[in-house]
Homo-oligomer: A and B are copies of this chain.
Amino acid sequence: MKYSILINSYTGHTAADFSLNNIAATSGRLDLVIRCIIATFYGNSHLRKNVDFYAVLNGPPNPPKVIRINGRKIKVLPNTEKEMARILYDILKGKEVSGFTLLNFSFSEILKNLYLEKYKFIYIIERGNDISKVNFSEKEKYLFILGDQKGLNKNDENILKKYNAKEVNLGPISYLTSHCIVILNNELCKKMIVNNDIYAGGGI
A149, A170, A179, most chain B CB atoms within 10 A: A179
Q: A108 at the A/B interface (Cβ < 8 Å)? A: no
Q: How far is the CA of A25 from the CA of B183 in the complex (A)?
A: 28
Q: How far is the CB of A12 from chain B (nearest CB, A)?
A: 14
A161-181, CB under 8 A of B: which get 1 and which 0?
000000000111111100100
Q: Is the beta-carbon distance between B174 and A189 smaller than 8 angstroms?
A: no
How many chain A residues sit at the interface, stated as a range, is: 20 to 34
A105-119, CB under 8 A of B: which get 1 and which 0?
000000000000000
Q: Is the beta-carbon distance between B44 and A82 smaller than 8 angstroms?
A: no
In the complex, the chain B residue whose C-beta lies closest to that of A126 is B44
Total identical chains: 2
Q: A92 at the A/B interface (Cβ < 8 Å)? A: no
Q: Is the beta-carbon distance between A44 and B176 smaller than 8 angstroms?
A: yes
Residues of B within 8 A of A81 (CB): 24, 31, 81
Q: Is the beta-carbon distance between B170 and A186 smaller than 8 angstroms?
A: yes
Q: How far is the CB of A40 from chain B (nearest CB, A)?
A: 11
Residues of B within 8 A of A183 (CB): 182-183, 186
In the complex, the chain B residue whose C-beta lies closest to that of A45 is B174
Q: Using a CB–CB distance below 8 Å, which chain A residues touch chain B?
A: 21-25, 31, 38-39, 42-45, 79-83, 149, 170-176, 179, 182-183, 186, 189-190, 193, 204
| Selected A-B contacts with CB under 8 Å, 9 pairs | A23-B82, A39-B179, A43-B173, A171-B186, A171-B190, A172-B189, A175-B182, A182-B183, A183-B186
Identify 19 new A-B residue pairs, CB closer than 8 A, beyond the known A45-B174, A182-B182: A21-B21, A22-B82, A24-B80, A24-B81, A24-B83, A38-B176, A42-B176, A44-B149, A44-B175, A79-B176, A171-B186, A171-B189, A172-B190, A172-B193, A173-B189, A175-B186, A182-B183, A183-B183, A183-B186
Top 6 closest A-B pairs, CB basis? A44-B174, A24-B80, A182-B182, A21-B21, A179-B182, A171-B186
